[in-house]
Chain A
Amino acid sequence: MLLIHCPYCDETLPEAEFAYAGEAHIARPADPMALSDEEWRDFLFIRSNPRGTHYERWRHVHGCGRFFNAVRDTVSDRFVTTYRAGEPRPDLSASTGAAR
């Protein structure tokens, strides 16, 4: 089972308490009416789906209930870091790559 660090509870807890919530850092356009159909489609459905480092949202649903962001390697499933919702993407060069 994956162990995920909740930045609000400040504890590393089993995956069973968390729910995945899609890719992170996707801002809703401020004025949807100004967008073309293609741009609106891209906002709604088109995701990066990378092989490797992925910025994604998780929710500590059986816990504090908070959404937060995580950086996960989609190949190894290793969590590089987690951080609170609303914070900018972390500088990954600072993380040593050591497994938690």
Chain B
Amino acid sequence: MTVHLPPLAEAGVTLTELPPAARFSLRLRPANRKAAAKGLGVALPERVGGIAEGKGRRALCLGPDEWQIDAAPGDTPDLPADLPHALVEITDREITFRIEGPRAMELLSIGIARDLRRLVPGTGCRTAFDGISAVLVREGEVAFTLAVWRSFAPHVRGVLEVGLRELASGL
């Protein structure tokens, strides 16, 4: 018996793994936010989910005292030692998937319980994908990036590929 599977291109959404870029986790007291932003060359958004860009770096606010800094490969931001903070490189910790296409939201909804329509383009959040902590950024109207810890990536890719297959089959 031959099983005819429709090509994945018919799913209306593409799944790609992004090449690694430098990523840092920054923790500091909200009172030191402005001083740290000056040192980094990128503003640190105050509101959870906010994104700011500058000097080739991007800051995503994940919590009241936590930011994720994305930078070009090899870029190593540093802050003055007299400013109390914790800046940790997490480049190797995560695998980032890009999910793009008119049905991207539909594909992500198989693992994310949050109402994705309320995530404004240009903002992000940490959320749970199939029970796994994941950082989701809505890059555009129909484009998302989903970053999960490296060891979870094969599982997440598997779940998303099953979803792609289902969308392509019209299920």
Contact = CB atoms under 8 A, between A and B. Distances in A.
Interface of A: 1, 8-11, 13-17, 61-66
Label chain A's interface by main secondary structure: loop
B131 A64 contact: no
Query: Contact residue range for chain B?
Result: 10 to 19
A69 to B, nearest CB: 16
B105 to A, nearest CB: 15
A64 B114 contact: no
B48 A17 contact: no
B128 interface: yes
B66 interface: yes
Given A14-B114, A62-B134, 7 more contacts: A13-B127, A16-B128, A17-B128, A62-B128, A64-B64, A65-B62, A65-B63
B98 interface: no
Given A64-B126, A66-B63, A14 B113 contact: yes
Contact of A64 (B63, B113, B134): B63
Contact of B48 (A8, A16, A61, A62): A8
Nearest to A18: B128
B133 interface: yes
A13 B114 contact: yes
